[in-house]
Structure 1
Amino acid sequence: MLNLPVTEIFSSIQGEGPYVGARQIFLRLPKCNISCPYCDTETKVLQKFRLETEPGSRVFEEMDNPVSLAKLLELLETFDFSIHHSLSVTGGEPLLWVKELQVLFPQIREKRLKIYLETNGTLPNQLLEVLPMIDIISMDIKLPFAGQSFWNVHESFLRNSLPKEVFVKIVVNEDTPQIDLENARDLIAGVNPSILTILQPVTKTRGINAPNPCQLLEWQSLFLKKLNNVRVIPQTHVFMGQL
């Protein structure tokens, strides 16, 4: 029987991208294959994971890691699927657990709950293994940092995502180089200029500051020269006080 380590399970309001305001069940999984400088999420596999005792209560209990997939499905079903738009599978990087997700996702879909995948967009082959079971893909484009760039895998990932509803998020800060933005824009345009693209101002952390309003307007104009649908959306759950 397959087991899956979990970081936390809770019910909240989606705070990023075009589904801002939608009620979702969040299944956060550990581990990540990259280390973004602005990341504030726990990615280690912990001995215990947090389970919200009642949807939206913000009261948590701790349970042992890892958990069997049968038990995980049972825990997810304690959340009322009828009031939730989808199951947001997030991380870390969820596609590091693709073998387990291949088993879990069909069981979730049988319960008529949509699968919303939040991913860093760097594992295109793993995506293909679960693609038929996913409804919505929230794909990050990670701009270069610390001598690392991801253009080739991002392009492959985005092309693989086209059979599904997919949108792209790009986190930007006050020091984001314009050449990186141009490269990201051209990558998306080369795949499909109609793909919804979100410029997401970074939430201030570790001395990394958000762009000013003029920068955001300038960058949105830059993207709109080649793309059809470009929005600026911050992390709204932060100022709403949501998880």
Structure 2
Amino acid sequence: MIVDVSEIFYSIQGEGSKIGYKAIFIRLCGCNLKCPFCDTKYALSCKNPMNAHEIYEKISRFPAKNIIFTGGEPTLKDNFMAYFMKKYNNYSYFLETNGTLFPKKSINLFSHIVVSPKMFAINLDVLKSLIKYSISIEFKFVVDENFTKELELMEELGLKEATFQPVWLNDSMESYIKKTVRIIEKLKDIPYNIRIIPQIHKILYGQKKGV
């Protein structure tokens, strides 16, 4: 089975509850959304076909057992992910998704799923199904200083906790830090268990790929 792969790299997870853990990232090509703040536009329409064995040969060189399928939007390749995880089941698999498509073939093969809903493209049915059928799940929102809609969605989904990640647009390091502090201060009085995690990969590596 063949899939288009943007990049495969070994790094640490910089987001969500698994932050800091070593992991192998498989970034698949293609996405069903066009987010204005996307920092992986190079993965939206790339063409780099690889078969499952070629991918396994590459990931087997790295000293890690956690594999993260990311994108783009990896659930577009639901069949491939299910095939790969069943064939190479000596790894723990994780998914990063925008929550607009339900991966019915692979859903029960992921140890953990991070859902990052985009407020202009909410699919409540899919989000509720992900919550219902995932083995382990968390929600991560990329937010600006007005996060009313994100809080409303948390209420509608019955979420008591989430990660908020201040969005990095055309910020300098100084302006991004100040924005993050303002968001922290606004969240102090919010009755939810919300973790604030800055976009660590941008702070450490800037716009560099494969990190």
| TM-score, structure 1 as length reference | 0.74
Correspondence 1:18-167 to 2 at 5 A: 18-41=17-40, 42-47=42-47, 65-80=48-63, 84-109=64-89, 111=90, 113-124=91-102, 127-144=103-120, 149-161=121-133, 163-167=134-138
Cα distance in 2 for partners of 1:132, 1:6 equals 23
Shift of 1:151: 4.7
Native 8 Å contact 1:31 1:43 kept in 2: yes
Residue number among 158, 177, 182 corresponding to 1:214 in the alignment = 182
Cα distance in 2 for partners of 1:99, 1:34 equals 20
User: Between the two proteins, what is the percent identity of the paired residues?
Assistant: 27
Residue number among 112, 121, 139 corresponding to 1:168 in the alignment = 139
Could you say if the C-alpha distance between residues 31 and 188 of structure 1 is closer, same or farther in structure 2, counting changes exceeding 3 Å?
same
Shift of 1:137: 0.3
Could you say if the C-alpha distance between residues 45 and 233 of structure 1 is closer, same or farther in structure 2, counting changes exceeding 3 Å?
same
Output one character per residue of 1:142-201: Cα deviation in whole Å (capped at 9) or x when no partner. 123xxxx4152453344334x411110001113x352x1332221232xx53xx400110
Q: How many pairs does the alignment contain? A: 202
**Looking at CA atoms only, which structure, 1 or 2, has the larger radius of gyration?**
1
Amino acid in the other structure paired with 2:26: L
Native 8 Å contact 2:25 2:69 kept in 1: yes
Q: Which runs of 5+ in 1 are unaligned?
A: 48-64
Amino acid in the other structure paired with 2:72: G
Could you say if the C-alpha distance between residues 85 and 167 of structure 1 is closer, same or farther in structure 2, counting changes exceeding 3 Å?
farther
**SS of equivalent to 1:5:** strand
Residue number among 230, 235, 242 corresponding to 2:194 in the alignment = 230
Residues 1:185 and 2:165 are matched in the alignment: no
Could you say if the C-alpha distance between residues 73 and 220 of structure 1 is closer, same or farther in structure 2, counting changes exceeding 3 Å?
farther
Cα distance in 1 for partners of 2:46, 2:180 equals 37
Native 8 Å contact 2:93 2:109 kept in 1: yes
Amino acid in the other structure paired with 2:70: T
> Aligned-pair RMSD on alpha carbons?
2.3
Shift of 1:14: 1.1
Q: Which runs of 5+ in 2 are unaligned?
A: none
| TM-score, structure 2 as length reference | 0.85
Amino acid in the other structure paired with 1:236: I
Amino acid in the other structure paired with 1:29: L
**SS of equivalent to 1:128:** coil
